[in-house]
Chain A
Amino acid sequence: KAGVTQTPRYLIKTRGQQVTLSCSPISGHRSVSWYQQTPGQGLQFLFEYFSETQRNKGNFPGRFSGRQFSNSRSEMNVSTLELGDSALYLCASSLGAGKETQYFGPGTRLLVL
Chain B
Amino acid sequence: GENVEQHPSTLSVQEGDSAVIKCTYSDSASNYFPWYKQELGKRPQLIIDIRSNVGEKKDQRIAVTLNKTAKHFSLHITETQPEDSAVYFCAAWATGNQFYFGTGTSLTVIP
Residues of A near any B CB (own CB < 8 A) = 4, 33, 35, 40-45, 48, 55-56, 58, 90, 98-99, 101-107
Contact = CB atoms under 8 A, between A and B. Distances in A.
Contacts of B32: 99
B73 interface: no
Given A41-B103, A98-B97, A101-B34, 4 more contacts: A35-B101, A42-B89, A43-B91, A90-B44
B106 to A, nearest CB: 11
A98 B30 CA distance: 12
B102 A42 contact: yes
Given A42-B104, A99-B31, A56 B98 contact: yes
Contacts of B16: none
Interface of B: 6, 31-32, 34, 36, 42-46, 49, 89, 91, 93, 96-104
Given A41-B103, A42-B103, A104 B98 contact: no
B44 A56 contact: no
A42 B101 contact: yes
A102 B34 contact: yes
A42 B102 CA distance: 6
Contacts of B98: 33, 45, 48, 56, 58
A90 B43 contact: yes
Contacts of A35: 101
Nearest to B91: A43
Contacts of B97: 48, 55-56, 98
A107 B42 CA distance: 8
A23 to B, nearest CB: 12
Contacts of B101: 35, 42-45
Nearest to B93: A99
A104 B102 CA distance: 16
B100 A45 contact: yes
A103 B102 CA distance: 17
15 contacts: A33-B98, A33-B99, A42-B6, A42-B89, A42-B101, A56-B97, A90-B44, A98-B97, A99-B93, A101-B34, A103-B46, A104-B36, A104-B43, A104-B44, A105-B43
